Every structure is written in C-alpha cells, then in structure tokens.
Structure 1
Amino acid sequence: MAGIAVFRPLATAPGRVLARTYATSIPAMAHHRVVIVGGGTAGVTVAAQLQRTPEFEKKDIAILDPAKTHHYQPGWTLVGSGLRPIEDMQRSMRSVIPEGVKHYPLRVSTFDPENNAIKTSEGVDVSYDYLIVAPGLETNFAGISGLEEALQDPGSQVSSIYSEKTVEQVWKNVQAFKKGPAVFTQPAGIIKCAGAPQKIMWMALSQWKRDGVRDNIDISFATGAPAMFAVPKYSQALDKLRRERNVEGLFQHNLVGVDAKKKVATFKNLAGGGEVQKEFSFLHVVPPQKPWDWVAKSKLADAAGWVDVDKSTTRHNKYKNVFSIGDASSLPNSKTAAAITSQTPVLVDNLLAAMNGKDLKAAYDGYASCPLLTGHNELMLCEFKYGGVPKETFAGILGGQETPRRSFYHLKNNVFPYVYWNHFLNGTWYGPSGFFRPETVPSQA
C-alpha cells in the first residue's frame, strides 16, 4: 500500500542537520480501535489512562496531532511573571506520547462520523471504532485589529501570555515598565483558564510594588465579562482585592482594536453600546478564543461550534462512539487543565461501558479549578463545579479558599509543574483525588 513518508531531520552540531529519517512512512489509510484527535493535555491523559486500564483489552490507540512540541500552558503565567523559564513548560511531543500509542503528525481536515473516518490535510484517511475529540481551541489573535502587528514589535509594550511565541516578552515588558497607564484585558466569551488574564495583572502589580514604581502606574482591568470571575464567591473576593489595590475595573469592555503607534486601545462597550478608547503605555492582551474551524464546521459540532457532548457522560449526543473532553468540548464548565483531571476518568469508564454494550453510569459534575495568583507568595485556589458552586479541596482544613495563601502559591509554582510532567500526563494524577482514582459513579445515597 502506498504511504506518506514523514521526514524528521536529526540534529547534530549547531546549525547542521542530517537528511536521513528515523520515522517509518504513514500508510495512506489506517484503522485503530481508538483514535484521539489532539495531543494536548486531554488527549495524552486519556491515552495514558486507557493504556493503564486492565479492562481495556486489545489496546490499539492512535493520536493525531501535527505539533512537534507539547506545552504546559498553565505555566505560561509563571513564565510571564518571571518565575520560571519557558523551557520548564514544554517537551517534545514524541516524549509525552504514552508507550504503545501510535502518533500520527497529521492535521485533521474533515470528520466523517457516518463512516467512522477522519480525513487529514496530508491526504491520509484514518478510521476508527471509537473517536475521542480533544484538539483544544484556537487563540484568535487576528480577531483584534492591529494586535498581531503590535505583538511583533518588541517596542510596542504590547504582549500576551497566551502564546509560547509572545509569553517571554510579557516579563521583559513588566521589568522595563516604570510609569504610566497599564491596561490588562480579558475578552468576552469562552476562553481557556478564565482567571489567567488577571493572574498576570496581579503578578505585574506585585512586581512593580517590589520595584518601588507601583505608585507611578495606573492599572486598569478591562474585561468583556460583567464581573471579575464567573463564580460569585471568588468574584466578590477578587473585586474587593481590586478596590483595595486601586485597580480600575472596566466591565463589559471588550477589546476590538490596538493602535501600537498611538498607544490607544479601542473597546466595545457591551453594556452601553459604542466604542471607548483608552490610552496605554503598557498593554497585556488576552485574545478572543473559538473552536477550530474544522471542528465548528463539522457534523460533530453544536450550534456554537463545540463538540456536542452530554455534559455528564462526555459522549456525543448523536454519534454514540464519539466522546470529547477538554477545551473543544461543549461541556459547560471552565476550560482548565484541572477540569481534565476529573473529566478523563469519567470518559474512560463510559468508553469502556460503551465498548461492552453497557449503560453509561459515570458522571462528570463540572469540577474545575483556577489557581489564581494574586501576587508573590499568595494564591487564591478557586475550585468549583457546575452552577458556580464551590467544591473546595482544603476548605475543611484551611477554611474558605477565597483567601489567598502562601501554601497555594507554592502548589502553583513548585508542585503542579512537576506533577504535570511526571504524573498527570502519565495517567496517574487525578486532581483533587491526588494519586487515587476517584469514584466516577455518583452515590445513590
């Protein structure tokens, strides 16, 4: 059968590359029992947990993802704050794919769920018995006029922690800034890690205070949302913090344009209508985010473009051999890596039930967590489930988690990155349950 050769050059001395390959060719057609689209946190974790599950017999898993590098995206806040180097937050894709799992460096172009098949841009067709869709979402920098050009100019004082290509500039800008108006933005709509836009603000404020220049800087938080955070308990605590630290709150102000030369940011006022222009000397931008077009335009998507799954079982509402978790799914919870720790065992148990013709009993309750940095040596550990109901791991020991604590800060900065690379991606970490696999079937008591 004809195939497509995958050429991966081998590096030798700096600046030299060997022309030979070390990867075998990919067949023009391939079939696997389980195909996972996406080699990010969700895709790799599901594959790892499936590989570790004795009940999953005839293991035959493939991951489709064209990326060469796997990123620990929650760590980009640490990079932008000068706490960790970017090298700590990335590994080669080859190194994180679980042993025994096939990796195709292919880009999905079309889903054909009626025929249990996927078409790729490289011309390879991959069919499956079961499909897991977990490609994440798209950070749409082009969705804000002038932003891409501003980010390409190191002298613009415009930066963003939402890309590995721009995150290091954030820390450079924070260090260099001494005086003037500083604006931090958050877009309207769904984004990954909804606390991150203000995490970097709090860390910049803390750094400027350390540098003795805080009083020379006017800080504004402009968000397309109506409040500081979607969960009322934490939103109230964060708004109190905002007022205490003299940060201007511009709510329902959605960034639509950046003029780096004139140092002007243009916002759409979602409450009163019209546009608002604000001058800046420092600007941190979080771009709008959306489903990938090849997901949104597929038969798997709901009206909003997300993979249409049951919010409890994670199985597709139409195609019963299709599942989805993570940022690409329609699960109505906060899109965080922590959410995947609770979603994955539910998906695995329900996938095995589906394979055996049994009812799907495992249920996801919407758990998500946002370790929200509020400054050096302090962090508000926001944990909650569907409906914005707090679900706090340490409340019984330390009290309400709306109070920033030093111990939580060290979890974010020192513990979580280590756990991610050594246990999370290996399928042995379950978030609030630690190393103990949680019970996925709700108690009937």
Structure 2
Amino acid sequence: MTMQNSRPLEPTSGAPHIASQPATSIFDVVIVGGGSAGIATAASLLKRKPGLSIAIIEPSDVHYYQPGWTMVGGGIFDAAVTRRSQASVMPHGATWIHASASGFAPDDDRVILSDGTDVRYRVLVACPGIKLDWDAIPGLRETLGRNNVTSNYGYDLAPYTRKLVDALQGGRALFTQPPMPIKCAGAPQKAMYLSCTRWEKAGILSRIDVQFHTAGAVLFGVPAYVPALMEYVERYNAHLNFESKLVAIDGPAGMATFEQKRGDQVERIEERFDMIHVVPPQTAPDFIRSSPLAAASGFIDVDEATLRHTRYANIFALGDACSASNAKTMAAARKQAPVVAVNVLAALEGKPPVADYDGYGSCPLTVESGKIVLAEFGYGGKLLPSFPKWLIDGTRPSRLAWLLKDTILPPVYWHGMLKGREWMVRPHRIGS
C-alpha cells in the first residue's frame, strides 16, 4: 500500500464538517458507515490522534440505538429515546460526507460514491452494517406494520409490536428467526419472552398459543445459556419449532408459510396467526457483496483477530458487515472499534497490526420483565464474562443484568462508545 502525506479538509476541532461533494485531498482515514461501529472507531482514532483527517461516509440523517428496539417492543422504552440526529453523534474533527458509498477501487485507494465521484484514502475502514432483506419473504414487505405483522428490527415497527401484544387477548402468536447470520441473534426470542411476560402479568398467557419458529437446529448457539432459556420456554408454554423457516406470509389472511426440515425431507406447512413477529433474512449490503472486498460469504473478508482485510493491508472492517465469525451485536462493535483504531494508526505508520480481537459479543436475553440472562462469549462459544460470577452469573437470570440493559448501557452507548471512551474495552495488544 502507499502511504501519502495528506492534510485535513478543515481544522480538526469544533463541530464536524459536512461535505456533500468531497474535495480532492486524500484523507488519512475514510470510514464507510456512520453507525455504531463507524462512529466509535472515528472517536477512538481522534482520541488517540486529534490531528488525523477522517471522513465518514454516511447517507442517513438519523442515528439509532438499535439494541433499544427490543425494549420498545416490550413496552419498556419509548421509541424516541433510541433516536438522535446523525449530526449530533459525528465526532468533532471528522468530515461527514453526506452520501452513499456504491463501490470500492482498493488498488487505487478510492471509495466510489453513488453519484460517481470518489473519495481517496490512506487507510479505509468499512463498516456499512448489514442488509435487512424484507423482500426475501414473499408478502412480507406489503403487510409490515399492519394486519398483525410486526418486527422489532425497525424503528417504526417496534411500537406496533407493543400495540399488538397489549391488544391480544387470546389466539396464536408466532415468532420467527431466519437462517444465520443475523444481527443480535437473541433478539427473535427476546421478543417472545417480553411478550409472554406481559401476557403472564395480564393473566391471559394460558389463552395464547405461543410458537417460536427458528431456521436453526438449537435455541441458542452457546450451550451454557440454553438451560436457563429452556426454563422460560417451559414457563411460558412456548412451542419450539426447530429448522422451521418462514418463506411466505399473507397478512390479510393471517397465514404464515414455513419450510420445516424433518430428517431428509422438507415439508411446507401453513400456520394461522393472530399476531406474528418476523425477523427478516439478512445479508451483506449489495455494494459489499459485489465488491473486491467480499469473501465468499459476501461479507468483507478480514482476519478474525486483527480485523484487517486478508488481501489489502490498508483496509479494515468491523461491525455487522465483516466476515469474522463473532456474534453480530453492538457489544461486539464496541470491543472491535478500539482494536481497529490502534491497528489503523499502525498501518498509517507502515507497521503491522498491534492489537487483536477475541470475538467478544454480548446478548442480554430479556427473559422476563426485570430479569436478563447476560450471554457474553467469544470465538468458538468461549464464555467471556465481564463480571465475577458472584455479581452476575451470566448463565442464570439476573436483576442486576436487567439494570445494566435498562439503565446503564444506553448512556454508555451515547456518552461512552460514541465519544471514544473505552470503558472495559481497551484493546488487547498482540503478544501481551
């Protein structure tokens, strides 16, 4: 790779500069994606080296705290608390390029924008998130948000989940989970648990046939957490349907079609519903899958430890769009961002990566109102608890873990992660 001298397009203090058409200068670092991963990485970089010229390519005017949407659907949070303007979270000293990326020319160190212009970089950080493929299930998009069809995977849809849960007095409630990978793999069942706890408190749970349809063969991918989850499945009398994939939905008719694997056979069955919570299939964004950065999976091809691209030494990726086998959660991005930041700084000096990532991800499984099973694990399902077992035993439901999710993590996100404050996630140095 070539490392060229560059200068900022603006002073690196004060409010973020907004550029609809970038100038021709080469940025030290270009970040594709202004979500959790992108903002946290930029903030970590600028904390370490305020003089860097950093551009963040992000088309959206709004930034969301997406882990809060499950709580919105469960009637715990108001949707508005999960939303802020994109301008308000842009790190001071960064240049916001208010546009969409459409491709990459990594041999020339360029990002192509949707209008055909390009942005040049010395080091690229790609973190554009994951694509929610609502159109992959025939009939889904046209019925979302009405006809008793909802999903906590959308800001505008999560309040409808709460409305449906509170309105249902009896009947059949279906909850679905598509094939992996998806962001926050525990969220599909969290929607079920939080719905059941509301029905239980209202005294009507016995009137509701609760079904969980997952395309996977197990309830949760890390076995240590399954016993506690099964206790709640049994408590709520929820029927588990493994290897059952939603393939079509007819909202007005209240009918969902599943393909269910039974031995070597795949059966197509129809299930009537009075309410259905759907999680859409998910893939890498189209412009990533068709790019030279993509692995065979379609996600950005990175070394799992350093998060550096396997073929381009001045490209890194993190968050939901990278190929690493960690769980795709906000907690993973929070741990990845400092690792990428210090490795980017090393790359700018022509040095190899200096920090590694252990695959950490966290999934606070909201099993009832006031209790959470705090799943924390890394590559290979290795348990990576943040707290001593006497304080929070992640394999058991905990009120303290609920306090963490309900009260502590949102301000940690807004005022810690997005500001480059690396509480409990300082990067691990290779060889230390």
Q: Secondary structure at the match of 1:258?
A: strand
RMSD, aligned α-carbons: 1.6
Q: Deviations over 1:121-173 (max 9, x none)?
A: 12321111100000000111111111111114x3x111000011211111111
Provide the rounded CA distance (Å) in 2 between the counterparts of 1:405 and 1:180: 31
Give the alignment partner of residue 197 of structure 1, picking from 188, 192, 195: 188
Provide the rounded CA distance (Å) in 1 between the counterparts of 2:61 and 2:40: 17
Provide the rounded CA distance (Å) in 2 between the counterparts of 1:147 and 1:275: 17
Amino acid of the structure 1 residue aligned with 2:52: K
State whether structure 2 residue 215 is matched by structure 1 residue 224.
Answer: yes
More off after superposition, 37-46 vs 157-166: 157-166
Q: How does 1:126-137 map to 2 (within 5 A)?
A: 126-137=119-130
Q: TM-score, normalised by structure 1?
A: 0.90
Q: How does 1:30-429 map to 2 (within 5 A)?
A: 30-53=25-48, 56=49, 58-152=51-145, 154=146, 156-271=147-262, 272-398=265-391, 400-429=393-422
Provide the rounded CA distance (Å) in 1 between the counterparts of 2:418 and 2:277: 30
Amino acid of the structure 2 residue aligned with 1:136: G
What is the Cα deviation at residue 348 of structure 1? 1.5
Percent identity over the alignment? 39
Q: Contact 2:363 / 2:374 at 8 angstroms: preserved in 1?
A: yes
Consecutive unaligned residues of structure 1, counting only runs of 5 or more, are 1-21
Amino acid of the structure 2 residue aligned with 1:26: Q
Provide the rounded CA distance (Å) in 2 between the counterparts of 1:308 and 1:25: 29
Q: Contact 1:363 / 1:442 at 8 angstroms: preserved in 2?
A: no
Aligned in 2, Cα 1:30/1:232: closer, same or farther, shift over 3 Å?
A: same
What is the Cα deviation at residue 94 of structure 1? 0.4
Q: Contact 1:29 / 1:124 at 8 angstroms: preserved in 2?
A: no
Q: Contact 1:345 / 1:440 at 8 angstroms: preserved in 2?
A: no
Aligned in 2, Cα 1:421/1:348: closer, same or farther, shift over 3 Å?
A: same
Provide the rounded CA distance (Å) in 1 between the counterparts of 2:86 and 2:393: 38
Provide the rounded CA distance (Å) in 2 between the counterparts of 1:343 and 1:27: 28
What is the Cα deviation at residue 217 of structure 1? 0.4
Q: Secondary structure at the match of 1:161?
A: coil
More off after superposition, 236-245 vs 42-51: 236-245
Q: Contact 2:392 / 2:400 at 8 angstroms: preserved in 1?
A: no
What is the Cα deviation at residue 394 of structure 1? 2.2
Q: Deviations over 1:303-323 (max 9, x none)?
A: 110000000000000011000
Provide the rounded CA distance (Å) in 2 between the counterparts of 1:41 and 1:57: 20
What is the Cα deviation at residue 406 of structure 1? 0.9
Provide the rounded CA distance (Å) in 2 between the counterparts of 1:416 and 1:182: 30
Which structure ranks higher in relative contact order (CA pairs < 8 Å, sequence separation ≥ 6)? Answer: 2
Aligned length: 414
Consecutive unaligned residues of structure 2, counting only runs of 5 or more, are 1-16
Provide the rounded CA distance (Å) in 2 between the counterparts of 1:85 and 1:359: 45
Provide the rounded CA distance (Å) in 1 between the counterparts of 2:366 and 2:89: 27
Q: Secondary structure at the match of 1:198?
A: helix
More off after superposition, 233-242 vs 93-102: 233-242
Provide the rounded CA distance (Å) in 2 between the counterparts of 1:209 and 1:126: 54
Q: TM-score, normalised by structure 2?
A: 0.92
Q: Deviations over 1:391-410 (max 9, x none)?
A: 11224323631111111111
